[in-house]
Structure 1
């Protein structure tokens, strides 16, 4: 059997880092098992689903390093769902209900006042033909519910019915079908809710493993029952913990909080996002992985905690900085060219500055400093200005070797008697205009003697 997974968001907004966690769990599981990854858009909500969001989600996945083996749209598969509806109706496990949302809400409130769970009482099964005719004459159209197999002979007398599965992430899980309402599979207008299309697609697309957020644990009990009603073997399920902000707030596509697009625009590297999205909330230490194969080696679904994974967005910048500090020039080269950083000096420049930047785009500021000098020019005390005049008089002649900085500062130390910060800080300010930054030993050869002298106060 080929391991087959799927990532199935609704294209109603831009995906965020929490959605990326689910996508990456599936992608890495497929990588580790030489399996297939299906990108499936659950776009049965025609009013809210938009192609522009589907396209944006695919772009975000590609940016992260996820390249689906197939892309499917549920909105193009209604005929398949209609056929399954007919099968379930014929089997007597899909029944019409005529209650309005207001009537259902009132019934739930009444059950609560009686100390009963607010589940649907299957009142539609007791309707007479005359009542049904009256509803239809009033223009009511039915929604359709799946009759859960939680009774022995009388569906109006549900009894505890446990569904068990060995969860890929959480271990042994149990859901009692008697504690749940019969799920609505099709709305009054003929459109479908999540449950039926998801199961039908998983069957027809050969999905072997369903890995998703733990907010779907209860749904899994219902879906396993539906798989069996359709004569299909349920896939292996895994439910990972959800990501929340440090304050415990959930993430939403609608709010756009921490969307992959916004993180990309903020200069965060894909592997910083992927590393945090996968490793936070697990027993693994959160560290910046250089590429997907390295992250796949660290990925273990069973190492995921059962509690929500709180993360601090600032961690992304820590991971991003780590990736910058070790990024080879060959990996950065094309992106640097786009930023206007090219030529013979590009590689030694990158190796000099990468340890002092948080984002790749930060290199531009250092490139400008090397090209144009400090902006604005730094101000010095009379004492430091005299010191710098003397220091620049001692600048070695070319050709320069790799020891030019060491040779120059040795001359300055001997002539001025200065050492430590009193020696190095005025030089750094004169050369870069900043109190910290890359090693001046690396920058000086890039400036050359003429460029260095141009910074003389």
Structure 2
């Protein structure tokens, strides 16, 4: 076990928390908890045009819903705050001026138009577009002249002209970057706002981050960040770049592949423990063949040695299967409370739930959840328990209502049930078995049309459990309705 581990998840609040970000947060959380270290949340909100406080709140809410608690960060504070980059601008300014004073950074007065023109010229000449360093050696007089023209400078980091920077990646091994391909990048924009590569390094130093676990797309940023650490004479953290998450067709995961944000999965009725379990399997392999893992088991087993280099493939079917497992295993009261908003959304139950209604909902949820995979599917499967306003499945009608004698079978079933004094599971099942023998048909020839009559569907939970839950009066009413429906189709 490593000592004094400090990791961070540092999202940009420009939208919802997507599964890639959630996976990064989870792996950082698991790494910290496995090594009994600290998990820090920092909001990297220096993109002033796109960052919003609403997005920051959404991300924080999504992390809470997932159950990924943090030791330092928004709402909980900590010794190295503030934890919003927009509140740390003086730190970046101070560090930039330290680099300027040592000749490791310089002011650049090139305008965006000039840079764009040079970029186009480079591309036309078949060269890779990169900053040509023309402001690297400006004299004080040249700088004063440019400032008098009204030019507002940026601050660029001075990349060593020769050499190689090696990223010692804990997942990928050593990855080398020649300095020839790294141009002098901007660290402070003309409006005084730091760039990502600069701000995250300064914050990671100040917050004493020991390990940086992040998406593979950041690997190309890492040599620049290492050079900043070295220029500031600070020890390097360990880096680990997590594999990409691709769509089933191996394209970049996007909206066209369905839900991609934590909020969308929550709103579709996925459970947080199922989503975490699935995300853990996107790029990490637990011991053996086990795929269902509790959070505590993930913490026990987690190691970067078992994180893959190759891309993980997103599979909604697997996530849904895992969710079905957790939905069936979870405490019934909890599932009931989670299902109620989905029932309310379909206007099946009122906003105010009485104790009696709650008990009924709980019985319904307990009955239908074994056949469904999400809370949305729970509500859909439960509809006919709360409303008589349903139609009959057309294929079911052809198969069970249009058979000769269908109406007579349902009439016999109705009369049989009307005679029952006790309408419990044992009595109802016994009555149907005896009726089957009395009228000389297989039990299924009574069960299937009855199911269609009571629910409008050909599939569902156990028929006798369904009948008892609906109650004698409702069951008989629906049988009568089905008999009338069959008669009207025959005439």
Q: How many residues align?
A: 447
The aligned residue for residue 407 of structure 1 is: 430
Structure 1 residue 17 displacement after superposition: 1.5
Which of 341, 349, 374 does residue 364 from structure 2 map onto? 349
For structure 2, the 5+ residue unaligned runs are: 74-82, 344-348, 481-491
Q: Deviations over 1:162-206 (max 9, x none)?
A: 3241x2332333333332112210112211101221111111112
> Structure 1 204/247 Cα, relative in aligned 2: closer, same or farther at 3 Å?
same
Q: Is the 8 A contact 1:275 1:286 kept in 2?
A: no
Out of 43, 49, 52, the position equivalent to 1:50 is 52
Aligned ranges for residues 47-446 of structure 1 at < 5 Å? 47-71=49-73, 72-111=83-122, 117-148=128-159, 150=160, 158-165=161-168, 167-251=169-253, 258-283=260-285, 289=292, 291-297=294-300, 299-336=302-339, 339=343, 340=349, 342-373=357-388, 375-376=390-391, 380-381=401-402, 383-395=405-417, 397-399=420-422, 402-419=425-442, 421-446=444-469
- The answer to whether the Cα contact below 8 Å between 1:404 and 1:441 also exists between their aligned partners in 2 is no
CA distance in 2, matches of 1:400, 1:140: 87
Give how far 1:138 is off: 1.4
* Conservation of the 8 A alpha-carbon contact between 2:247 and 2:313: yes
Alpha-carbon separation, structure 2, partners of 1:420 and 1:411: 9
Q: Distance in 1 between matches of 2:340 and 2:315?
A: 32
Q: Secondary structure, in 3 states, of the residue corresponding to 1:126?
A: coil
Write out per-residue CA displacement over residues 39-94 of structure 1, whole angstroms, 9 at most, x where no aligned residue.
Answer: 11111122322111111111111112222222210111111111111211111101
Query: 2: distance between equivalents of 1:145 and 1:259?
Result: 36
Deviations 1:268-309, CA, capped at 9 Å, x for gaps: 332333333331244469987475324445644333332333
**Which stretch shifts more, 321-330 or 219-228?**
321-330
Q: Which residue of 1 aligns with 2:42?
A: 40
1:453 counterpart (468, 471, 476): 476
Separation in 2 of the partners of 1:286 and 1:188?
54
Q: Taking structure 2 as the reference length, what is the TM-score of the superposition?
A: 0.81
- Segments of 5+ residues of structure 1 without an aligned counterpart are 151-157
Question: More displaced, 113-122 or 195-204?
Answer: 113-122
CA distance in 1: counterparts of 2:254 and 2:42, whole angstroms: 19
CA 188–365 in structure 1, closer or farther in 2 if over 3 Å, else same:
closer
> Structure 1 residues 172 and 56, CA, compared in 2 at 3 Å: closer, same or farther?
same
SS state at 2:24 partner = helix
More RCO (CA 8 Å, sep 6+) = 1
RMSD: 3.1
Is the Cα contact below 8 Å between 2:327 and 2:335 reproduced in 1? no
8 Å contact 2:155–2:186 — kept in the other structure? yes
Indicate how the Cα distance of structure 1 residues 257 and 95 shifts in structure 2: closer, same or farther if over 3 A, else same. farther
Counterpart position of 1:153: none
SS at match of 1:163: strand
Which SS does the other structure have where 1:444 is aligned?
A: helix
Q: 1:308 to 1:364 in 2, by over 3 A?
A: closer
SS of 2:478's equivalent in the other structure is: coil
CA distance in 2, matches of 1:28, 1:283: 13
Secondary structure of the residue that 1:175 maps to in structure 2? strand
CA 454–229 in structure 1, closer or farther in 2 if over 3 Å, else same: same
SS at match of 2:7: strand
**What's the secondary structure of 2:373's corresponding residue?**
coil
> CA 1:232–1:374 in structure 2 vs 1: closer, same or farther (change >3 Å)?
same
Match of residue 154 from structure 1: none
TM-score, normalised via structure 1 length: 0.87
| Counterparts in 2 of 1:310 and 1:22: CA distance versus 1, 3 Å | same
Shift of 1:100: 2.2
Distance across 1 between alignment mates of 2:324 and 2:6: 35
Instruction: State how far apart, in whole Å, the 2-side matches of 1:202 and 1:4 are.
Output: 10
